[in-house]
Structure 1
Amino acid sequence: MTIIPASSSVIVNNNNNYQQTKMPMTTTTATITAIHDNDILSTNHINHNNNQQLFSSQQSTLTKDGHSNENDTKIISTSTTIHRINNNANRSNWWILGTRRNYAKYLDITPSTFKINCHKVKFLNEIQREMCSIGYNVVNIVGRGARIGIDECQHQFKMNRWNCSTYEEEDARVFGPVLDINSREKAFIHAISTAGVVYSITRACSRGEMSQCGCDETTRRSKNVQHNWEWGGCSDDIHYGAEFTKKFIDSVEDPTTPDGLVNLHNNEVGRRVIKSKMELICKCHGMSGSCTIKVCWRKMKPFREVGQDLSSRFDGATHVKVIESRKKRSRLRPAQKNVKKPSKRDLVFLEESPDFCFKNLTIGAEGTTDRICNATSYGLDGCRYLCCGRGYRTIEREIEAKCNCKFVWCCNVVCDKCRSKIVETRCN
């Protein structure tokens, strides 16, 4: 690909911010930028969503001894100190299986060695090692699910202040210090990761990759279709995938701690959402295109729909407190009065999100400097919000890319080279 010299013009028109050609291309040019500071806003006036003030960090009124006046219940502290201590106990770093780095050096999982070597994997806990040892490809399938969850998280938040950053360094926690804060970001990570593993395990069952499961044999006739069809094909066994994932991922959590209780709730949200994303697929059989027999089966919808569903729940997540009763197990309740109790499909969190505007690696914030933004948008992807009031700059690039490609018999693809310009805006 030829390198094209930088354009020398300064951009003054912002109506076409962040326009990219759909052609595959290489951009290797220098740039001339225009700095925009007239749209700088105070970040104090920019909320993540309309519920930001509703879910404030204030707790309910307590008596001096830390007890409420109702049912002799006690509010458990949800400070950072507590959940960081709990993070050190019985923790696994199973997300490593979904990173792009080569984790094979940690493992020697083959049909002849997996039963022994699964018990040597340091970043899994004891229950997870036992589950690893039921089949030589279990860790690969779980790893695919973890990768699905990571990719979807980064897709859904690519234009947010927090963009679901991951860390690929050896021995690093994949999502970094953001997991030390029981925020809505952590809630989403748990839900999307759990759903990703359910998806991967279920697909593996349908494809015959796991000897412990297969097609769903318990599927019943749907009430939403006419009775002129019969079950056939291979229905996805979502129930096995969910139960396997529940045992594998939930084994990390301690339900007697605040963060464990919240993590278990959000894991369940992920499982419930993906269970709701099943569809009925039918195929006709008959002479000359007729539909003498219609055979139907159930399969999971594309995982993108799961990500979109959970992303909408992220915006409406409920700020909760953990209440301990002398007669009942700990339970989650809204941190604010006049807020409805979260359902089993609502994401919950204990702490408000930190400021992701500026780089702060102690909380897992990469900052938004140099992030691409949309200068004409007033949403989360807009420069006014994403740049946190620092302003943005406009960049014009001239690129050369292949275009007008044609297939030439036999066996060649011939393309022209076209020059075009792209304009993008980036945060200061």
Structure 2
Amino acid sequence: MRAELIGTPGPGTDPAPEPGVVGADPARARDAAGASSSVGPGGAAGPAGPEPDLAHHGDVEATPGLVDLAVNVRRDPMPDWLADPVVASLADLAAYPDPGPARAAVAARHGRPPEEVLLTAGAAEGFVLIARALRDARRPVVVHPQFTEPEAALRAAGHAVERVLLDPADGFRLDPARVPADADLVMVGNPTNPTSVLHPAAALAALARPGRVLVVDEAFADTTLAPGVDGEPESLAARRDLPGLLVVRSLTKTWGLAGLRIGYLLGEGGLLARLAAAQPLWAVSTPALAAATACASPTAVAAERVIAARLAADRDHLVARLSGLPGVRVAGHPASAFVLIHRPGADRVRERLRERGWAVRRGDSFPGLGPDWLRIAVRDQATTDAFTELLAEILEA
């Protein structure tokens, strides 16, 4: 299996830090701060091209009046077991937020002590805290294609970022050997946005080692469900034996809470304390904490499994319809709430879809992709049928 490593020498040429230490000289000048570099399949330097817009996200595509297949957030009505405590929390807004109960509830869900949980204002804040708290990382590497905020946060904090680009010909599968051995900060998504690939837990665990912080973005882990599995296949959320592991989770996708901003980090207590020191006071609001407590309950976990099973059926329907269209190739084996497709001229197709009232996610803002890629959110089967019928019409024209 092939991957592409894109990066510039410099910080990565220094000796590896001692075990348990990320970087040895936090005062080192970063001449290449904010830059990024890439390496192609087989380790060759990747072709030069326009730098992707890391700040572009699906909400920019989903303008009012369009059918939204660009944003991966469910919009079903909020269940009472979630809405009631959120609404009730509004009576307590005169008091400063107390994260203790929510932290304990999330910890219990994942079989961890509370000190191994850090609540955040969405998963995006977690990436910012990592980038700011670990400024002494010497060789940060981001595995792409994936959600662009981890790299954007690193670059904003002054890091020189290297990219490992996974190979579409190999289904965007992760080969741990492609990640440089001396990378002391590694970021990877699972399941990965936008490819919808679910990497084996063993492949991710192989990336953990003393002296390295391994960040696994599991924002969509609750959308995955393997046949016969009552849980989240390939999740590392309960793993306490892997050195330097940080798992990033989000509660905004399945439960439609993007506007509330709630997520959390799981990891070793000392490492989380470093991140917490970079977090503003009272960063997570009282209503968001109420949502975190509710979403960690057994009722919520059981509901997630039901939703994931329904999502799998809807995803299979979308993949079947897309696979029957001329020139359309579905990437890999989708496992989450979205599907990545390739077709020459896809960006022009996206523009035609917008003209007809439909929004999909462009692919060229993701490192490792380009204008011939589109990401499509999984919706109910009636919506999928209407969309693919229009898409077929556009492709035939």
Judge same fold: TM > 0.5, yes or no.
no
Query: Under a length normalisation based on structure 1, what TM-score does the superposition of the two structures give?
Result: 0.22
Query: Under a length normalisation based on structure 2, what TM-score does the superposition of the two structures give?
Result: 0.23
CA radius of gyration, larger in:
1
